[in-house]
A and B are shown apart, each in its own frame.
Chain A
Amino acid sequence: MSSTAAHAASASWIALTAAHVQPNETGYIIAAVISASVLDMDHVFFMIRDRDLYRQVGYPGQLHRARSAFHELFGLLAAGVLSALLFPADPTLARVVFIAFAVHVAQDWVLGKSSPLAPVDSTEMRFSSLTARQKVIVDVITLIIFGGLWTLYLVGRL
């Protein structure tokens, strides 16, 4: 699980460059950043709702529980349906929204523990066993790399 800033930087950059959006197309850039980060709103909801529990057990290593089914395959399906509905009106927007959202979901699957078939099945999967410290390092590296790539993108070097 990455930080929202790391998701916003990496997933939106991948969506924009894959959909061939130009740096002056501000609307698509805003849509990409929102699509790449809006998913993390559900963490806020669960962290507020279950704050007493998190005060007891601590936040590190527990945030995979503070998420809704939208962080799983169900969310990917919902983003796919939204993208399919947007496609006839604006194919580029449909691509940007879906790819940004899908990259965020895939990043969280790859970097942490999840129940990807929730709410239908609660089986947990774990791609990697990174510690909280290692996740912070991955986060920082992601922000540095994609910060550089965003700079190149915005000055038109990509």
Chain B
Amino acid sequence: MDVIPGRPAVASPYRAVLAALGQRLVLPKVNPVYYHLLAIFLSVLFLYAQESWIQIAIVGAVLMTDWLDGATAKRYWQPSRAGYVIDVVTDRASEGFLFAGASGMLSGQVLFLLWLINCGLTFYSVRSNRHTAMPLRFAYLIILAVQGV
């Protein structure tokens, strides 16, 4: 059976705001896979980012693609377990590249260790059909922004 792991209730308010925003947005009818490919490409590009504002821009763009793929999938495509798997796998790959690139800093090293746990949580999510993951890229964006200020 094509069961899609459910999102935790704690994320509902945040997801409701994003869903409301997504409904107002003019979204092109493209395959969400293009957003996933862009996220992976940007995450590899992050390995070469030296300036903090470039790092903030790349992590922000990666998070934006994550939101856009979800919004596009909800509006134009039938949700599926394969779609869910592509989404979480892209997230983990993206996090891996971002935190490997940031491993020169203590925050990057801590986030890399948390990413290892996030990979384990991904397996738990598909096993239990309950989506469980830490929003590490969002946390990293906040860290970068605070460091930038």
Contact = CB atoms under 8 A, between A and B. Distances in A.
Given A76-B96, A87-B109, A81 B116 contact: yes
Contacts, number: 86
Interface in B17-40: 33, 36-37, 40
Main secondary structure of the interface of B (DSSP, over half): helix
Interface residues of B, number: 31
A48 to B, nearest CB: 28
Contacts of A121: 85, 123, 126-127
Contacts of A120: 123, 126-127
Contact of B97 (A102, A125, A127, A128): A102
- Report, as a range, how many residues of chain A touch the other chain: 20 to 34
Contact of B122 (A83, A84, A98, A117): A117
Interface of A: 14, 17-18, 73-74, 76-77, 80-81, 83-84, 87, 91, 94-95, 98-99, 102-103, 105-106, 109-110, 116-117, 120-121, 123-128
Interface of B: 33, 36-37, 40, 44, 47-48, 81-82, 85-86, 89, 92-93, 96-97, 100-101, 103-104, 109, 112-113, 115-116, 119-120, 122-123, 126-127
